Structure 1
Amino acid sequence: MSRRVALVAAAALPCGKWQTPADAALQVLEHEVLASLVADAVAEAGIDRRDIGSLAFAQCRPYTLQKYFATFMAHYLRLPCTGTVSETLGNGMTAGLAFERAVDDILLGRAKVALALGVNFETATSAAEHMMSSMRATGDVDFQVPFGFTPIAWYAMDAARYMHEYGVSREAIASVAVKNRRHASLNPLAQFRKLITMEDVLAQPMIVEPLGLFEVPPRSDGAVCLVLAEEEVARATGRPYALIRGRGFYHEGAHQISEVPNDMTALAAAQRSGQAAYAAAGVGPSDIDFAEVYAPCTIVEVLVSEALGLMPRGRGAHGAAESETSLGGRIPICTSGGLQSRGHPAYVTPFYTFVEVLEQLQGRAGERQVRDARLALTSAELGNYNAALVHVLEAVR
């Protein structure tokens, strides 16, 4: 197809605690929060709201009171659509798949402008309810769930295997947390912005050994609206935008916790989807100026940086410890602060990835700006990278 798609504007709620308890006298309503962001993003884009033809929502958490959220929001926003109004679910990749739906509606000629948007509220939900929901989603209800096998547990096993195979110290992996907090300190959207040291990280209680409190993601609330458009529409605004150059997706045909033996530290789906995205964009890993990857735990950032060819195999943790992946380093990774510090409102987390990429490619990232940023790489996962979605985006100014 001759059409090309651009990301032109974004508005986001700072990650944090926004959900109100069920018995609170005054409720913070998800649809009101998101509607405000839609107004801000559309105004920033400088487009005519009548050109919006599609609304691609990341499905809300099951705790959200308003059901049939997408069609309710089309009504609430008074946005008739000739493309589609839909909700997408794909665990950690939920927002990434919603982004894809918006892109595809433009490529198929169903819309000149599409919104990719969503809200994730979970912090006032009880820990027990949240954990039971997470375990039923990520494991086999007949096998793993009765034994309390959590997502952090499998990441911890990845870390233990990586440390064994490559002789990597826990401190090297923990350096990712220190680096990401430094980046988050410069990001007004980040949930945790106070600088931390290696000593701080190592002093935290273990969640699942060898991962401590600062090496895993918090529970977070968040909401984002992205505005995507045909490149012709984006160009007509006279504003800088991020052009989508390449996309890649691969699902291994295995669930997030699988009994099928595999290389725990290879992240094969990220390798395959990354190769497809690079090929579509006509670039390679060495051409990328910075990457914003989906990495709930420190070890996941290490592994995905290697799988995407940004770091040599077995060198990802050392790269973080030696500042290669820091701002000012050879290949900055997670300049937003990453999931440990920027926050992890799971069903909309990939949207925050695109917010960061857009700000960087527009040259609006302030103190965390990557110098001369032109090409960015993003990733999203379904869970333990059993599936991966990768994009390459280019700055057009």
Structure 2
Amino acid sequence: MPKAVAILGAAALPVGKWQTPSDSPTQLLEHEVLASLVVDATRDGGVERTDIGSLAFSLPRPYTQQKYFGTFMANYLRLPCGACVSETMGNGMTAGLAFEAACNEIRLGRTKVALALGINFETATSAAEHMMRSMRTTGDVDFHVPFGFTPISWYAMDAARYIHEFKSSREELASVAVKNRRHASLNPLAQFRKPITLEEVLSQAPIVEPLGLYEVPPRSDGAVCLVLADEDVARASGRPYVRIRGRGFYHEGAHQINEIPNDMIALLAARTAGRSAYEEAGVTPEDIDLAEVYAPCTIIEVLVSEALGFAPRGKGAAMAKAGETTLGGRIPICTSGGLQSRGHPAYVTPFYSFVEVMDQLRNRAGQRQVQNARLAVTSAELGNYNAALVHVFEAVQ
């Protein structure tokens, strides 16, 4: 049987603007920032450097000056590894796949302790350069890129379709942004912490109709280190930990948006991966206490909540407006503040979801603590959920 894997410790940089301009006389270097988080995370997990057998990095942004980042970091940290040192790339799922790589080294018995870690610095890079890179990496060069089809455009089309098909409204979708900002106001890691009202959300300039400024993610910098361990190691530590109870993955065989007509707001990949994760965990959506989902825009949180079984099809937006997904509601979603308010350093965003779930399940989330939280779900996506990675986590005291 594969070995059970636990999250034993974590450390994270508050999401914000950290990257220094290339012409600045003093540079904040990614490897120095990440190294300090490794020290903090291993202390949090109670492991020694000699216990670590694998390093699984999310690939840093192309603007990072140090190339071949993972092997450089192994040297910088003076961490010889007998299992594997790797860097993973998968668009918004990058950190999720790095997390999987670290877990697999433990499941295969190659090491008892592994780090899943990464850094995403981008905010001092010009918007024009960043968007050109984004379109070339997330779009089909024959279909999307020539027309300047940006990622937010996908989500805006989802929103327009959802409002049309289910007689929803901009107000219902915008309520997600208000809820997420309230959660972010309680999260010291969040990029934007000032509460906002529904009126303020609706009055913002449109980014791509019908989504306004507060309904889309900011550009963000961030960094995270997670300590993963064989459950025997976690149990012997005597510390509370979080067990990975179920996992599911599905790729539709489509690149971002498929040129073959399909139901664009069904999120088939999230539905399929979610069913697999629930089945492996032996639970149902009704058993879950909170969810931390990858949702760049408000509409995607709504669609994921439906795909993962927390709301009937077409009812997710109304459920959010009714307060069911807020702290104290039936199923709190994105207690961290979500991607619109906690922030979205894309290549490490799923790591922040794991940090939030770990804090919640270890009862150390402070004012945003979900009472008696025992089971949590996370999701990560590639583009417009053409692929999804879903985990079910369980608290172990």
Q: Same fold (TM over 0.5)?
A: yes
The amino acid of 2:391's aligned partner reads H
The amino acid of 1:357's aligned partner reads V
Is structure 2 residue 90 aligned with structure 1 residue 90?
yes
Residue 162 of structure 1 is matched in structure 2 by 162
Would the aligned equivalents of 1:138 and 1:257 in 2 still touch at CA under 8 Å? Answer: no
Q: Secondary structure at the match of 1:163?
A: helix
- Distance in 2, matches of 1:315 and 1:258, equals 25
Q: Secondary structure at the match of 1:378?
A: strand
Q: Secondary structure at the match of 1:102?
A: helix
Deviation of the 1:230 alpha carbon: 0.4
- Distance in 2, matches of 1:143 and 1:199, equals 37
Is structure 2 residue 74 aligned with structure 1 residue 70?
no
Deviation of the 1:2 alpha carbon: 4.7
Would the aligned equivalents of 2:21 and 2:125 in 1 still touch at CA under 8 Å? Answer: yes
Would the aligned equivalents of 1:53 and 1:80 in 2 still touch at CA under 8 Å? Answer: yes
Is structure 2 residue 242 aligned with structure 1 residue 238?
no
Identity %: 76
Residue 254 of structure 2 is matched in structure 1 by 254
Q: Secondary structure at the match of 2:173?
A: helix
- Distance in 1, matches of 2:267 and 2:142, equals 25
Show structure 1 runs of 5+ residues with no match: none
- Distance in 2, matches of 1:142 and 1:262, equals 20
Is structure 2 residue 381 aligned with structure 1 residue 360?
no
The amino acid of 1:278's aligned partner reads Y
Would the aligned equivalents of 1:247 and 1:391 in 2 still touch at CA under 8 Å? Answer: yes
Q: Secondary structure at the match of 2:390?
A: strand
The amino acid of 2:204's aligned partner reads Q
Residue 383 of structure 1 is matched in structure 2 by 383
- Distance in 2, matches of 1:257 and 1:328, equals 35
What is the number of equivalent residue pairs in this alignment?
Answer: 397
- Distance in 1, matches of 2:214 and 2:114, equals 37
Q: Secondary structure at the match of 1:181?
A: helix
- The runs of at least 4 consecutive aligned structure 1 residues that moved more than 6 Å come to none
Would the aligned equivalents of 1:57 and 1:116 in 2 still touch at CA under 8 Å? Answer: yes
- Distance in 2, matches of 1:3 and 1:151, equals 38
Residue 324 of structure 1 is matched in structure 2 by 324
Residue 7 of structure 1 is matched in structure 2 by 7
Would the aligned equivalents of 1:7 and 1:226 in 2 still touch at CA under 8 Å? Answer: yes
Is structure 2 residue 303 aligned with structure 1 residue 303?
yes
1:282-340 deviation line (CA, Å, top 9, x unaligned)? 00100000000000000000000000001111111011100000000000000000000
More moved, 230-239 vs 216-225: 230-239
Instruction: For 1:100-179, list aligned pairs within 5 A.
Output: 100-179=100-179
- Distance in 2, matches of 1:111 and 1:2, equals 13
More moved, 132-141 vs 63-72: 132-141
Deviation of the 1:257 alpha carbon: 2.4
Normalised by the length of structure 2, the TM-score is 0.99
- Distance in 1, matches of 2:320 and 2:341, equals 16
More moved, 114-123 vs 231-240: 231-240
The amino acid of 2:69's aligned partner reads F
- Distance in 1, matches of 2:2 and 2:220, equals 39
- Distance in 1, matches of 2:44 and 2:303, equals 36
- Distance in 2, matches of 1:272 and 1:56, equals 26
More moved, 361-370 vs 135-144: 135-144
